Amino acid sequence: MEQSDLADQAEAAVQHKDSFFIGGTWVPATGRAPIPVIDPSTEEQVASVPAGEPADVDAAVSAARQAFAGWAALPADERGRLLGAAADVLEARTDEVAGLISREMGTPLAFSKAVQVGNPVRVLRSYAELLATYPFEEQIANSLIVKEPIGVVGAITPWNYPLHQVVAKVAAALAAGCTVVLKPSEVAPLSAYALAEIFEQVCLPAGVFNLVTGLGPVVGERIAAHPDVDMVSFTGSTQAGKRVMAVAAGTVKKVALELGGKSAFVILDDADLGKAVKVGLANCFINGGQTCTAWTRMLVPADKQDEVIELVRAAAGKYPVGPPTDEGTRIGPLANANQYKRVVGYIEQALADGATLVTGGPSRPEGLDKGYYVQPTVLADVRPGSRVEQEEVFGPVLAIIPYADEDEAIAIANGTPYGLAGGVFSGDQERAVRVARRMRTGMVDVNGGRFNPLAPFGGYKQSGNGRELGEYGLEEFLEVKSLQL
């Protein structure tokens, strides 16, 4: 076969998107400049999406505004029916959409099916079910309290859980009766296109959901600043969240932020160390460490640190790194080149600051010379206040930090600017709950408590404000009105 034929085949395999979903139809982008989507396992382009312009955002907001009154007036059970139908279609397309997500951001295929697609299916269904019972009105003395949709919502989402983070916002906003303009991450936008196709297939009314891809400083900032957007819901870095809040302040719109984390996993002195290490490491390394709630700081009794280190070293060997499509892979590549450089830089800095390397390190995993692969890395003797202990790495990097007593453990756990998540492990459930209550963080798992898609998701301090998922997530998109009768 000629080289030109091979090039033509490679080009044909690249998905070139050239339009946005606006007002219920696929509309050509005003700007023609494409944004490449790179497969992080091969460093090769697999798709492109258009770089939206302010005019594209304006068109999407206009469509959402026109659709708002009709959607808000639709009975809640009908909104629920459409969300349930979308869940059914998404579930039927699990293999296809999971493949897109693995290709665009590198998560192992099995994880993509179970979590990257499985969680959005569950969340869509949870809101469909919630709408059957949620009271949008209540009587308090002589006042009728009415909960009404806030209006047009701008949703800006990240690349690490590219569909779940979209659905967590969009499903709640639609359930509340709001209309949405979505800007997904340009790093991993393909699953958002699949969601738009699903909404089109289930006949969601035109303009209720609108999709515009592009860069944050252009599309994201236009959404945040737009005078006809009533609320912005953003998930991403704390730095970017601060910018969204500043831009949105000009119109005094509501802003919900789900930002970074530096979560602590406190192993108490009465814990089963083997079980605790297994649970803690799994949480740290989930999705290659590219999880805002990952327990990246393991706090251990100082007199048990050596024992914990040996257990961690053995357990870390059970996390093979490799291509997302390989059945045995537990950690795929990082999502992009910038993230790869960032994570390697943090490992190098930690070692320079005096941390002890338990396993892993900044060099590439053996046999993986192409792709954004890093070794799962564990660092011991990490000093509180050091960069790797304070800042979000967003990769498979665990810091082990010794503490003298329970009070010091709490002080270390609470000693970062973040407060998103955390964990406690103890042989005494009541003691673990007491420690969890002292942690200044929005979510704490006690002795390996499972993720609950109905529980509020969000954090304290610079981890953001507002909550997602379940009833609390729905209420983020509601205004409260009192009628005195």
Helix (H) or strand (E) holding 93: none
Token readout for 485 is 């009768």
Q: Do 253 and 272 belong together in one domain?
A: no
DSSP 249: G
Q: What is the pLDDT along the chain (485 residues), one digit of tens a residue?
A: 333 333 333 344 678 999 999 999 999 998 778 999 999 999 999 999 999 999 999 999 999 999 999 999 999 999 999 999 999 999 999 999 999 999 999 999 999 999 999 999 999 999 999 999 999 999 999 999 999 999 999 999 999 999 999 999 999 999 999 999 999 999 999 999 999 999 999 999 999 999 999 999 999 999 999 999 999 999 999 999 999 999 999 999 999 999 999 999 999 999 999 999 999 999 999 999 999 999 999 999 999 999 999 999 999 999 999 999 999 999 999 999 999 999 999 999 999 999 999 999 999 999 999 999 999 999 999 999 999 999 999 999 999 999 999 999 999 999 999 999 999 999 999 999 999 999 999 999 999 999 999 999 999 999 999 999 999 999 999 999 999 99
Question: Dihedrals φ, ψ of 367, to 5°?
Answer: 85, 0
Q: In whole angstroms, what is the distance from residue 169 CA to residue 468 CA?
A: 7
Q: Do 223 and 101 belong together in one domain?
A: yes
Q: Do 254 and 326 belong together in one domain?
A: no
Residue 458 lies in a domain: no
Residue 452 has what pLDDT?
94
Question: Which has the closest alpha carbon to 190: 104, 98, 96?
Answer: 104
| Number of separate domains in the chain | 2
Q: In whole angstroms, what is the distance from residue 26 CA to residue 8 CA?
A: 26
Residue 400 has what pLDDT?
98
* Contact of 484 with 142, CB cutoff 8 Å: yes
- Write down the residue that tokens 């312009």 correspond to: 53
Q: Do 218 and 94 belong together in one domain?
A: yes
Q: Do 237 and 275 belong together in one domain?
A: no
Residue 206 lies in a domain: yes
Residue 407: CATH number of its domain: 3.40.309.10
Q: Do 240 and 383 belong together in one domain?
A: no
Q: Do 80 and 194 belong together in one domain?
A: yes
Question: Which has the closest alpha carbon to 305: 333, 277, 282?
Answer: 277
Token readout for 167 is 């659905």
Residue 459 lies in a domain: no
Q: In whole angstroms, what is the distance from residue 195 CA to residue 113 CA?
A: 15
Q: Do 29 and 170 belong together in one domain?
A: yes
Token readout for 290 is 């590219």
- Write down the residue that tokens 């959607």 correspond to: 71
Residue 9 has what pLDDT?
37
Question: Which has the closest alpha carbon to 77: 167, 164, 177?
Answer: 177
Catalytic residue selected from 104, 186, 221, 258: 258
Q: Do 292 and 206 belong together in one domain?
A: no
Residue 132 lies in a domain: yes
Residue 341 has what pLDDT?
97
Starting at the edge strand found earlier in the chain, the sheet holding 377-380 runs 356-359, 377-380, 397-403, 297-301, 264-267, 422-425, 445-446
Residue 128 lies in a domain: yes
Catalytic residue selected from 292, 389, 392, 468: 292
Annotate 279-293 with b (16+ C-beta within 10 A) or e (fewer).
bbbebbbbbbbbbbb
Question: Which has the closest alpha carbon to 407: 306, 301, 305, 307?
Answer: 301
Q: In whole angstroms, what is the distance from residue 102 CA to residue 317 CA?
A: 23
Q: In whole angstroms, what is the distance from residue 424 CA to residue 280 CA?
A: 9
178 in active site:
no
> Around Cβ 405, how many Cβ atoms within 10 Å?
11
292 in active site:
yes
Helix (H) or strand (E) holding 144: strand 143-149
* Contact of 184 with 120, CB cutoff 8 Å: no
Q: Is 99 left (phi over 0), alpha (psi -120 to 50) or beta?
A: alpha
Q: Do 102 and 212 belong together in one domain?
A: yes
Residue 368 lies in a domain: yes
Q: Do 349 and 242 belong together in one domain?
A: no
Q: Provide the domain limits for residue 129.
A: 3-259+464-484
Alpha-carbon distance values, 79 to 129, 168, 357 (Å): 10, 16, 53
Max Cα–Cα distance, the chain, nearest Å: 81
- Write down the residue that tokens 């407060």 correspond to: 419
SS3 54: helix
Q: Do 275 and 147 belong together in one domain?
A: no
* Contact of 227 with 196, CB cutoff 8 Å: no
Q: In whole angstroms, what is the distance from residue 295 CA to residue 262 CA?
A: 7
